Structure 1
Amino acid sequence: MVTVDNATAAILLSRPVSSHDETLSRLAFSLSRSLAEEGIGDEVFDTLEDVLGDRAQSAPPRRVHRSDDLLLRLGLPLPQRRRQEKATPMLPEEATRISDRFRRATTHLMQVVPHRVAMYPTEELRLLIALRDEQPTPDQAVAHLRRFAFAILTVLDLMGDEA
């Protein structure tokens, strides 16, 4: 730590550092950075990874391939396609824990976003608030949390977070 005498401090404090607008801009940027670092931490990013990575479900096997009709007309067998695995079931306590974490992140994002974007993302935040307020049934918890996670990632992407 450096000590400064009163005379030096008075000289330093009387010097203009920069223009008023530039100072406010720097201050707002620093403040928003510190807010972002406090609220959206590794814990939230790990939870986003858990929800979108491990529990991601493939598309249902109802998808019809164009080539299937042709193969049937020619009398050829249909190709064997990979069987799609279902997502592991989520315990209600785990769904509640993740949902609470996403709700806290949403509240924090609502405070930080105006300071981090050039144009306010009205639709993205409206969706985030709607998902925050939604109360899904236990069988819809995984799908709801995936939508919630994608909405959070969309807002983080708009903010330019490098997470």
Structure 2
Amino acid sequence: MTALMYESTAPLPVAAFANDEETASRVDLGLRRFLASDAVTVALYDDLETVLGENAARLSPEDSAVISARLRDVAPTLNDVVARLLKTYPSEMDDVMARSSEFPGPEGAHGHLVRFASSILTVLDLMGELAVLREVDPS
């Protein structure tokens, strides 16, 4: 067996560590936001804006079903994120999960979608700054 040994007098770079409350808080928030980003996405906010926004219009049953399906897909991930990130699990999350298992007929699709989107928005409000999307620099 042959071992290679490099002779170098250059010291290895040493990382600077901070050990203060402010830095620890920033790192904690960053890690929690990163975990929340699994569920809280631009697409989620776009869907909520389409349903609940200032310029929201009544959607067709087909469009309501498509957005409901996307919200249904994100509900379990949101549930997992909320359970991990919030100290007290909000009862409002139970409402989201209950609505995610409802499949109304075409005549009730829009009303269901509005209630479903409203319950998700309530949970995002409870998450506070963890649910705030960061602007990403495109460069």
| Aligned residue runs from structure 1 range 86-101, under 5 A | 88=58, 90-92=60-62, 94-101=63-70
Q: Tell me how far apart the structure 2 counterparts of residues 89 and 114 of structure 1 sit (CA, whole Å).
A: 32
Q: Label 1:103 to 1:31 Cα distance change in 2 as closer, same or farther (>3 A).
A: farther
- Identity, % of aligned pairs? 34
- In the TM superposition, what is the alpha-carbon distance from 1:95 to its structure 2 partner? 2.1
Report the secondary structure of 1:120's partner residue: coil
Q: Label 1:144 to 1:91 Cα distance change in 2 as closer, same or farther (>3 A).
A: closer
| Aligned residue runs from structure 1 range 35-114, under 5 A | 35-53=35-53, 54-55=56-57, 88=58, 90-92=60-62, 94-114=63-83
Structure 2: runs of 5+ lacking an equivalent:
1-8, 134-139
- State the match for 2:3 in structure 1: none
Deviates more, 1:103-112 or 1:152-161: 103-112
Structure 1: runs of 5+ lacking an equivalent:
56-87
1:143 matches 2:98: no
Cα deviation code 1:54-110 (max 9, x no counterpart):
23xxxxxxxxxxxxxxxxxxxxxxxxxxxxxxxx45142x22210121112212211
- Say if 2:68 and 2:113, in contact at 8 Å, map to a contact too: yes
- In the TM superposition, what is the alpha-carbon distance from 1:127 to its structure 2 partner? 0.6
1:162 matches 2:132: yes
Q: How many residues align?
A: 119
- State the match for 2:5 in structure 1: none
Q: Which has the larger radius of gyration?
A: 1
Q: Label 1:17 to 1:129 Cα distance change in 2 as closer, same or farther (>3 A).
A: same
Report the secondary structure of 2:125's partner residue: helix
- State the match for 2:137 in structure 1: none
Q: Tell me how far apart the structure 2 counterparts of residues 130 and 47 of structure 1 sit (CA, whole Å).
A: 19
- For the aligned residue pairs, the C-alpha RMSD in angstroms reads 2.8
**TM superposition score normalised by structure 2:** 0.68
